[in-house]
């Protein structure tokens, strides 16, 4: 990539390539990673930057994701700014350590490329990997396209490392659909990104041998729960910090983000709620249906952890039916997004809309615009009837259903 | 008709359909349009039919789904012409750009369609230039002949200079520019 100092560059680049560019600009102290499809290009590109001397990063080529996250936690506790990238089974193999990173309050920055979990064996997009980790204590920010994924990663350090937060963060993008798709986007100037991200401030680092500390100690009935309560406080504070950092980002780079995005919902009777790349197709369908007079809109999740219950409830306070699309399944229960939206609406506002839950896109099954249009039409039928019975919890575009 | 200009590439694994879509997008980016390029995501098997896609638009491109109603179908491997997938979703205005040593009429007969067809002996041209069949650059030149409203030959040559210097290195840029020019000049429209 050619670079002109001081100027952003508009160029076509894959979602994974954009993440590697953000990592190059952030120039972390340590990256420990083990490549896995579809996040491989992030690690490949970044290791090239290391080899070419474009970053000062210590790149640790570990033998597994379990070791990758272990190395990240150790390097973070030592006082470094630390990043990694993974997907699916890779993150599943980090599982034990995800909780350790969060409980040790190490603000590790992860670029997660969402992919289905095996089995059956599948490498394509769904949100099972990150949704399964929703209770691990990591902040989770989701992206609709390459630009958002890049912007979110540029904002990640400021959010995760904030004194009031101090929690690890995963910036999620849809596997293949975004990670392998070349899209026109804007890469900001290196120096501008560097200035925005700022220097890393180590927090009681192990390497400060004059002030020795212990990290990751045994913590039983006496204090464990206080430390967990502290994590929860960090999450609660993160809602404010995400907003603050996003406002600052908009001032600096012009692109505005919030805890979630609303699209044409002011007078919408039917509101679809979704996460990730599907929002693009949904917006396209909304524009089409609006020309026919259908009052439809979208609420797209950006921050899933922490979940902005009150803010979302307010945004949905005029909707008559809310149709939630989950790209992961919680077998024997409704999808995780539906559960959160229901909690949000029924506890944080007086509106009592119909709520319709659908699961879609597991293992990369396409969500076509025709299907989205169908779901809007179905939502309209439910609204006219005043009930969703029989349709609740249906999976979209599945043989035999 | 969609507000997006949509292209579907057909090739076989290893022939460069994905690289072709990527290179075209990178060149069209230079015209100020918003571009998207992506492959059909599946197992990579040399020789198996593969598809790749482009969307171009003056506005932000929001959709990520495969192209089902193409404005242009680019066929890199003529042996794929007999497969029904090549004709999927085509409309009257859909243009076929085919790497083949035949006339547009002959290709229309194979496909059983009335659409506009551009043929280009890109394998032959690249054999002469590079000593092997790497048809992509000649195909790009033929594309500029077929769709000058998307990218003119002049702009394509200018943008390809940057794109190819990153893709294949400075020493091969000149040959690829020649291939683009030859592809443009030797394509047959009908």
Number of domains present in the structure of chain A: 2
- Average confidence (pLDDT) over B84-112: 97
Domain boundary among A253, A271, A294: A253
pLDDT confidence of residue A248: 98
CATH number of the structural domain spanning residue A298: 3.40.50.920
**Digit-coded pLDDT (tens) for B8-67:** 999 999 888 999 999 999 999 999 999 999 998 777 788 899 999 999 999 999 999 999
**A245 and A183 within one domain:** yes
CA A304 to the chain's CA centroid: 7
**Digit-coded pLDDT (tens) for A304-329:** 999 999 999 999 999 999 999 999 99
**A211 and A192 within one domain:** yes
| Cross-chain Cβ contact B62/A11 below 8 Å | no
* Interface list for B 42-71 with A (CB within 8 A): 61-66
* Interface list for A 179-208 with B (CB within 8 A): 180-184
pLDDT confidence of residue B1: 52
Tell me, yes or no, whether A2 lies in a domain: no
pLDDT confidence of residue A1: 46
**Is any Cβ of chain A less than 8 angstroms from the Cβ of B30?**
no
| Cross-chain Cβ contact A280/B63 below 8 Å | yes
User: Which residues of chain A does B166 touch, with a Cβ-Cβ cutoff of 8 Å?
Assistant: 1
Q: How many CB pairs (< 8 A) connect A and B?
A: 58
Tell me, yes or no, whether A400 lies in a domain: no
**A289 and A155 within one domain:** no
**A107 and A138 within one domain:** yes
**A128 and A238 within one domain:** yes
The alpha-carbon gap from B38 to the nearest alpha carbon of chain A, in Å, equals 5
User: Which residues of chain B does A1 touch, with a Cβ-Cβ cutoff of 8 Å?
Assistant: 166
Q: Between these two residues, B172 and A130, which has the higher pLDDT value?
A: A130
**A187 and A72 within one domain:** yes
The alpha-carbon gap from B22 to the nearest alpha carbon of chain A, in Å, equals 7
Mutation for testing the B interface, residue in A3, A9, A10, A12 having most B CBs under 10 Å = A12
Closest-CA residue of chain B to A370: B65
User: Which residues of chain B does A182 touch, with a Cβ-Cβ cutoff of 8 Å?
Assistant: 22, 25-26, 35-38
Q: Give which of B26, B5, B13, B16 is closest to B139, Cα–Cα.
A: B16
**A325 and A290 within one domain:** yes
**A276 and A161 within one domain:** no
**A142 and A52 within one domain:** yes
**A199 and A60 within one domain:** yes
Tell me, yes or no, whether A3 lies in a domain: no
Set out the domains of chain B in order of their start, with CATH numbers: 5-189 (3.40.920.10)
Domain hosting residue A294, numbered range = 260-395
**Predicted complex: ipTM over 0.85:** yes
pLDDT confidence of residue A235: 98
How many other CB atoms are there within 10 angstroms of residue B135's CB atom? 26
pLDDT confidence of residue B166: 83
Domain boundary among A225, A253, A281: A253
pLDDT confidence of residue A3: 46
Q: Tell me which residues of chain A have a pLDDT lower than 50.
A: 1-4
- Identify which of B38, B162, B166 has the shortest CB distance to residue A182: B38
Domain boundary among A219, A253, A287: A253
**A226 and A84 within one domain:** yes
Tell me, yes or no, whether A196 lies in a domain: yes
* Interface list for B 148-187 with A (CB within 8 A): 162, 166
- Identify which of A10, A178, A283 has the shortest CB distance to residue B62: A283
Tell me, yes or no, whether A1 lies in a domain: no
**Digit-coded pLDDT (tens) for B177-188:** 999 999 999 999
**A201 and A60 within one domain:** yes
| Cross-chain Cβ contact A284/B62 below 8 Å | yes
Tell me, yes or no, whether A328 lies in a domain: yes
CATH number of the structural domain spanning residue A189: 3.40.50.970
Average pLDDT in chain B: 94
């Amino acid at each position: 990539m050619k670079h002109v100092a001081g100027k952003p560059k508009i160029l076509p680049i894959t979602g994974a390539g954009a993440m590697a560019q953000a990592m190059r600009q952030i120039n972390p102290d340590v990256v420990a990673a083990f490549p896995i499809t579809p996040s491989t290009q992030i690690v490949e590109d970044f290791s090239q930057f290391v080899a070419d001397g474009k970053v000062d990063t210590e790149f640790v080529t570990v033998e597994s994701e379990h070791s990758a996250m272990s190395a990240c936690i150790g390097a973070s506790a030592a006082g470094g700014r630390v990043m990694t990238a993974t997907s699916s089974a890779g993150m599943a193999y980090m599982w034990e350590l995800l909780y350790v990173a969060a409980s040790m309050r190490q603000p590790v920055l992860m670029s997660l490329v969402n992919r289905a979990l095996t089995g059956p064996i599948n490498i394509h997009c769904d949100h099972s990997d990150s949704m399964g980790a929703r209770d691990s204590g990591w902040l989770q920010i989701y992206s609709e396209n390459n630009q958002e994924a890049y912007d979110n990663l540029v904002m990640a350090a400021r959010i995760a490392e904030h004194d009031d937060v101090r929690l690890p963060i995963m910036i999620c993008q849809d596997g293949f659909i975004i990670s392998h798709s070349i899209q026109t986007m804007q890469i900001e100037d290196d120096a501008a990104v560097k200035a925005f991200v700022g220097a890393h401030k180590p927090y009681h680092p192990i390497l400060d041998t004059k002030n020795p500390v212990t990290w990751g100690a045994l913590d039983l009935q006496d204090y464990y729960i206080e430390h967990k309560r502290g994590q929860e406080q960090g999450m609660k504070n993160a809602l404010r910090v995400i907003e603050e950092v996003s406002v600052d980002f908009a001032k600096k780079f012009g692109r505005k983000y919030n805890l979630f995005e609303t699209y044409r919902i002011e007078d919408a009777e039917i509101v679809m709620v979704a996460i990730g790349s599907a929002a693009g197709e949904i917006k396209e369908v909304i524009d089409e249906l609006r020309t026919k007079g259908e009052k439809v809109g979208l609420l797209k999740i950006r921050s899933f952890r922490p979940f902005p219950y009150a803010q979302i409830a307010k945004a949905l306070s005029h909707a008559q039916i809310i149709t939630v699309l989950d790209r992961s399944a919680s077998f024997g229960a409704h999808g995780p997004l539906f559960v959160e939206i229901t909690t949000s609406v029924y506890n944080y506002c007086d509106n009592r809309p119909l709520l319709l839950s659908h699961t879609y896109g597991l293992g990369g099954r396409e969500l076509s615009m025709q299907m989205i249009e169908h779901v809007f039409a179905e939502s309209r039928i439910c609204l006219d009837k005043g009930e969703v019975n029989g349709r609740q919890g249906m999976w979209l575009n599945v043989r035999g259903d | 008709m969609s507000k997006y200009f949509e292209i579907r590439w057909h090739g076989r694994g290893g022939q460069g359909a994905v690289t072709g879509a990527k290179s075209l997008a990178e060149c069209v980016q230079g015209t100020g349009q918003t571009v998207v390029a992506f492959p059909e995501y599946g197992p990579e098997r040399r020789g198996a039919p593969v598809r790749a896609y482009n969307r171009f638009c003056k506005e932000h491109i929001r959709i990520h789904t495969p192209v089902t109603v193409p404005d242009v179908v680019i066929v890199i491997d003529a042996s794929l012409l007999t497969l029904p997938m090549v004709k999927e979703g085509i409309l009257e205005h859909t243009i076929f750009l085919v790497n083949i040593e035949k006339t547009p009429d002959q290709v229309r007969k194979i496909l059983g369609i009335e659409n506009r067809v551009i043929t280009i002996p890109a394998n032959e041209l690249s054999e002469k230039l590079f000593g092997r069949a790497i048809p992509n650059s000649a195909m790009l030149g033929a594309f500029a002949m077929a769709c000058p409203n998307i990218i003119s030959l002049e702009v394509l040559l200018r943008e390809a200079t940057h794109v190819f210097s990153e893709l294949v290195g400075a020493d091969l840029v000149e040959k690829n520019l020649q291939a683009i020019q030859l592809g443009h000049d030797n394509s047959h429209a009908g």
